[in-house]
Amino acid sequence: MESKSNEQNVIKLCQPDMERGTNLMCALANRKSIRTFKNKPLELQDLSDLLWAAKGVNRPESGGMTSFNSLGKKEVDVYACTPNGACLYCAEEHSLIPVSESNLIPALAGGQDYVMNAPLVLLLVATILYSTVSPEPMKSTLAPLDTGIVSQNIALFCAANTLDTVARGTMDVDTLKRELKLKDSHCLLLNHPVGYQE
Ligand SMILES: Cc1cc2nc3c(=O)[nH]c(=O)nc-3n(C[C@H](O)[C@H](O)[C@H](O)COP(=O)(O)O)c2cc1C
Q: How many domains does the chain have?
A: 1
Query: Probe ligand 1: pick from 37, 112, 168, max atoms within 8 Å of CB?
Result: 168
Which sign, positive or negative, has the C-alpha torsion 132, 138, 139, 144?
A: negative
- The residue nearest atom 25 of ligand 1, judged by CA position, is 33
Using the mean position of ligand 1's atoms as its centre, give its distance from the Cα of residue 34 in Å: 10
**What Rg do the C-alpha atoms of the chain give, in angstroms?**
16
Beta bridge partners of 82: 85
Q: How far is CA 22 from CA 14, 29, 62, 163, 195, in A?
A: 20, 11, 28, 12, 18
**Is the overall model pTM greater than 0.85, yes or no?**
yes
Q: Is residue 1 part of a domain?
A: no
Q: What is the pLDDT of residue 70?
A: 80
Q: Is residue 59 part of a domain?
A: yes
Q: Is residue 21 part of a domain?
A: no
For the chain, 198 residues long, the average pLDDT of each consecutive 10-residue run is 59 98 98 97 98 97 91 86 98 97 98 98 88 64 92 98 98 98 94 97
Is there an atom of ligand 1 within 6 Å of 95 CB?
A: no
Length of the chain equals 198
CATH code: domain of residue 172: 3.40.109.10
Q: Is residue 13 part of a domain?
A: no
Residue numbers of the domain that contains 168: 37-196
Q: Is residue 136 part of a domain?
A: yes
Q: What is the pLDDT of residue 2?
A: 39
- List for the chain the helix, strand, coil content (%; round to 5): 35, 25, 40
Q: Is residue 8 part of a domain?
A: no
Q: What is the pLDDT of residue 1?
A: 39
CA 82 to the chain's CA centroid: 12
Q: What is the pLDDT of residue 142?
A: 85
Q: Is residue 10 part of a domain?
A: no
Q: Is residue 16 part of a domain?
A: no
Is there an atom of ligand 1 within 6 Å of 28 CB?
A: no
What is 4-41 written as a DSSP string? Answer: -S-GGG-EEPPPP-TT-S--HHHHHHH--------S-P
Is there an atom of ligand 1 within 6 Å of 81 CB?
A: no
- Which is the closest atom of ligand 1 to the Cα of 170? 8
- The residue nearest atom 1 of ligand 1, judged by CA position, is 169
